[in-house]
Amino acid sequence: MTDDRRQDDETGGTSRRQPGPFESEMDSFDDDEFGGPLFGATTEQPVVSLEEELNAERLSFGSDDSGALPHWTDPPTGEIPSIAASERRESPTDDLDVWSSFAAEPAAGSADPSGAIEAPKDPTGELTWHDDATAAAAATSAPAEPAEPARREPARITIGTDPSGMPRRPDPKRRGGAPQRPPSAGGTAPSTDGRNLPIAVASGLILAAVFLGLTMWSPAGALAFVTVALGLAAIEYFTKVTDKGYRPAIAVGVAACVAAPLAAYWVGDTAIPLVIAFAFFAGSLGFIGADSIEAGPMPNMAITMLGVVWIGILGSFAALILSFSNFPGGTPWGTDTLVLVAIGVVANDVGAYFLGSAIGKTPLRPWISPNKSLEGLLGGTILTLLVMLIIGMQDLSDTWSSTSHLLMLGIVISAMAPLGDLTESMFKRNLDVKDFGSIIRGHGGVLDRFDGFLFVLPAVYYLMLVVEPWLAL
């Protein structure tokens, strides 16, 4: 603070500083010489005291009608402060509204339908102010009705999930062991996997007798047996996947599975790619004619072609094996080989069943089938090789007379039959079904009985092409 200002303060702010000698000389310059005063005409300024200046700059907050503040020793109330609309907007001409960009739309059914009352929100997410009217309206508003769950479209399949939406069967090991099965009617105890052994043996013997009778009659009879079996298996497969939510091209799939062995028998292995191509063309044409994408063309075409390849194409190798009996001279190479294949697959199944039931403790793939064990696989292999050795020692085959060739045949059967059985069990587990059908009593469906053959037949056919067992005669 300068000396002049101190002097003013001491005299009560009424005195004024006198001009100095230099300022007097500047003011006395001749007007004629400089055309007027050097710094222009001066006007007399009003005298303002320091107290008046400070009072003019003092801020005003209006009347204090908020009441007394609580003492700092009082405990906190935990209440959220509310700001009334009249306090936030004192006049309609207020240009500064710091909350205008964060104002939310009024809730449906609120007390202020015009939207004049807004509920500002803190952009940091830490504090939120609510109007009294808005809070009261929200408290009295009716609760929202729960949304109706979306209906599942049966034709739209989600890959990697069960289209039926059914829960998976619980693993018996997670529930404290396998569930106890009630005894069957008549007092005959069922086997560990639910198979009625006497009925299964009787059905298997009848089936084997029909097959051997047709095969001994002519190769065409064996071909008829194979074609009917593949057709029934295809019907079981497409019926079951349809029940589980898929929409395959059933007519195309069944027709391809029946046509595949017939074309392979009369044309040869060159017909197999044509069957696959024509089945794909026909299935695609059918889905192109659908009304919309709701037909699920991609997953349903995939499930259709799975049945065609798995049942029709793999099963058609039985017809290719039978075609070896069409050579000049009436050679029984095809029928003889197919009979040996049937004997070997049955021996493998029987050996795996009995040894697995007796000492089986190490499951092959527990998530697929807990009843199939490593001990059962070993038992099936041993019995299959033993049967092939007996056939070779007794010279019971007119085509496979070499013991080494028979052992090769036994090894192929022992490797491929369990693989086919596991594949079918895997598909059943994915669909959450026990069997694909119930035509053969004690065995389930045709597909359940011939699942191992479907993988053995292609391997045996190419083994015949490689070793040519008839040359060892």
The yes-or-no verdict on residue 78 having pLDDT over 80 is no
| SS (HEC) of 363-428 | ECCCCCCCCCEHHHHHHHHHHHHHHHHHHHHHCCCCCCCCHHHHHHHHHHHHHHHHHHHHHHHHHH
Backbone angles phi, psi at 244, to 5 degrees: -95, 10
- Integer Cα distance of 160 and 88 in angstroms: 57
Q: What is the arithmetic mean of pLDDT over 344-356?
A: 93
Tell me the average pLDDT across 343-348.
95
10-19, 78-87, 194-203: range with lowest mean pLDDT: 10-19
Q: What is the spatial distance between Cα 198 and Cα 190, in angstroms, rounded to a whole number?
A: 9
Query: What pTM was computed for the model?
Result: 0.61
* Residue 104 phi, psi dihedral angles, 5° rounding: -95, 160
Work out the widest C-alpha separation in the chain, in whole angstroms: 154
Collapsing DSSP to helix, strand or coil, 119 comes out as strand
Amino acid 109: pLDDT? 46
pLDDT mean over 113-129: 49
Instruction: Provide CB contacts within 8 A for 360, sequence distance 6+.
Output: 371, 373, 374, 375, 376
The length of the chain is 473
Residues with Cβ within 8 Å of 233's Cβ and at least 6 positions away in sequence, in order, are 257, 311, 315, 436, 445, 446, 447, 450
Q: How far apart are the first and last CA of the chain?
A: 132
Q: What is the per-residue pLDDT for 73? A: 77
pLDDT at 470: 84
State the Cα–Cα distance between residues 397 and 344, nearest whole angstrom: 13
- What is the C-alpha separation between 393 and 404, in angstroms, rounded? 11
411 in Cβ contact with 385 (< 8 Å)? yes
* Percent share of the chain, pLDDT over 70: 58
- pLDDT at position 160: 45
- Residue 427: both structure tokens together: 């598909």
Residue 116 pLDDT level (bands cut at 50, 70, 90): very low
For every residue of 50-95, DSSP letters joined together read: HHHHHHHH--------S-PPPPTTSPP--PPP---HHHH-S-TT--
pLDDT of residue 189: 41
158 or 314, which is more confident: 314
Sign of CA dihedral 246, 238, 436, 460: negative
- pLDDT tens track for 266-286: 999 999 999 999 999 999 999
Determine the pLDDT at residue 335: 92
Helices first, then strands: H and E counts in the chain: 18, 2
Mean pLDDT of the chain: 75
Q: ∠ at Cα 163 (157, 166), nearest 5°?
A: 160
β-partners of residue 119 are 104
pLDDT over threshold 70, residue 205: yes
Residue 279 and residue 269: Cα distance in Å, rounded? 16
Residue 6: its H or E element: helix 3-10
For residues 456 and 396, the model is more confident at: 456
Residue 134 has pLDDT above 60, yes or no: no
Alpha-helical (H) ranges within 147-289 are 197-217, 219-243, 250-267, 271-288
Percent of the chain predicted with pLDDT > 90 = 40
Task: Please state the separation of Cα 343 from the chain's center in Å.
Answer: 42
Going by the DSSP 8-state scheme, the letter that residue 165 receives in this structure is -
Indicate the pLDDT class of residue 320, thresholds 50, 70 and 90.
Answer: very high
Q: With beta carbons less than 8 A apart as the criterion, state whether 227 and 259 touch.
A: no
Per-residue CA distances from 214 to 261, 286, 333, 344, 432 (Å): 16, 37, 16, 19, 36
